[in-house]
Amino acid sequence: MLQTDELKLETRRLILRKPEAADAIGVQMLIANWEIAKWLGRLPWPYPANGAAEWLERMHREAALGQGYAFGLFQKNRPFDGIVGVIGLHLREHGEWELGYWLGEPYWGSGYMSEAAPEVVRWAFEDLGVGHIEAGHFIGNEGSARVLLRCGFEYMGEARRWCESRGHEVDSLEMELTRAKWAAYTKVPAMAAAE
């Protein structure tokens, strides 16, 4: 079983680690924002006062069962500022892994998620042993599209997905990335930089 308590990833500007109870306040402050909620499939709206604490408990249970892994994003140069976003993988009902993420609005345009996502994808393929990752974004979420394309994800089609915050199904663009395609994609750095 994967030891998630010791799990920590690093990028040039970020530390990615398991969110702890002390991070709940920061998560609550950032995620209780309609501009984020409207792009996430499972986030309730209005966001409940204890939502972040309940989410952390669920993430810890999923990690203990090997069904999901969440990483909080923390700035290396401002370690005491707290969490700035979250990225993670969870096992879907049909047995495939799905990548999901959000970044606090004050940090939009920083390139943090474009930096964090490739590292989590690398970890999933190389360390977790995942063979295939699914992802997607609601139509109109161009920032999320750019993050996924920079990782090498490819569009597979359009679907209708439930959006808890909006209370109805929303048009979504579905994407996927296999370990083989990721390995080939990462061997061509000029292509990745051009996206």
Given this model, what pLDDT does residue 188 score?
A: 52
In the chain, the domains with their CATH numbers are 4-194 (3.40.630.30)
End-to-end Cα spacing for the chain: 36
Given this model, what pLDDT does residue 79 score?
A: 75
- Output the tens digit of pLDDT for each of the chain's 195 residues: 455 567 899 999 999 999 999 999 999 999 999 999 999 999 999 999 999 999 999 999 999 999 999 999 999 999 788 999 999 999 988 889 999 999 999 999 999 999 999 999 999 999 999 999 999 999 999 999 999 999 999 999 999 999 999 999 999 999 999 999 999 988 755 444 434
Given this model, what pLDDT does residue 81 score?
A: 87
Given this model, what pLDDT does residue 7 score?
A: 86
pTM assigned to the model: 0.91
Given this model, what pLDDT does residue 93 score?
A: 84
Please provide the DSSP assignment of the chain as one string: ---GGG-EEE-SSEEEE---GGGHHHHHHHHS-HHHHTT-SS--SSPPTTHHHHHHHHHHHHHHHTSEEEEEEEETT-GGG-EEEEEEEEE-TTS-EEEEEEE-GGGTTS-HHHHHHHHHHHHIIIII--SEEEEEEETT-HHHHHHHHHHT-EEEEEEEEEETTTTEEEEEEEEEEEHHHHHHHHT-HHHHHH-
